[in-house]
Amino acid sequence: MNVACSSATFGLKTAADFIGSGSVKAVLMVNPEICSAHLNFRDRDSHFIFGDVATAVIVEAADQATGGWDILGTRLKTVFSNNIRNNFGFLNRAARDDVTAIADGPRPDGITDKLFVQQGRKVFKDVVPMVSEMIVDHARDLAIDPTALKRLWLHQANINMNEMIGKRVLGREPAPGENVIILDDYANTSSAGSIIAFHLHNEGFAPGDTGLICSFGAGYSAGSVFVRKRA
């Protein structure tokens, strides 16, 4: 599944749908992210804080799961944009047949466009309202009060972006621990970021407490997964 930073939430929805249909009883979802391979280290706007990591999640049918979390609902959204993308990255970087086909002339490293590319300010302006509105709309459809969520585990790309989304979803400045930030330790690990945040910071939940796993990024793509602590 190749939906960049949203792969984890897209994968969770796919797993939940398989189980909901009765076709399987358990799914192992793995998110390997080798971000270093597709970075253009000559471009200050794109190489900044990426890290390499992998995460894994097991999703099971409710009748066989013990403890853990219930998935209350999943939602996906895509909006076409070239402002943040990866055109296969390192998978085709060695192909040099189109080096001279670029309008502004050949580039010394082949095709820069084969690596990760983003227009950061445009992405920020577009993605923050898109994701915030998606979360609030999804919560309303599930009869969940977004301002009462105990914790947000958001995609870890930009602290300012996460803080603004958290403020819009909760309707106030998030209190310490409500909007998890792990960028200082793990950097941007693409689709794995929200899962790392969830894994490291899911303590303190009583049965019935609700939280949100949400990832967003290239494409644009976004996914929200509301979860509730089981008894």
Amino acid letter, 2: N
Q: At what angle do helices 120-141 and 159-170 cross, to 10 degrees?
A: 30
Q: From CA 33, how far away is CA 31, in angstroms rounded?
A: 6
Name the pairing type of β-strands 69-78 and 52-60. Answer: unpaired
- Please indicate whether residue 5 is annotated as part of the active site: yes
- Of 5, 111, 187, 225, the active-site residue reads 5
For 91-110, b/e burial (b = at least 16 CB within 10 A) is eebeeeeeeeeeeeeeeeeb
By C-alpha distance, which of 14, 6, 140 is closest to 79? 6
Q: Which residues are catalytic?
A: 5
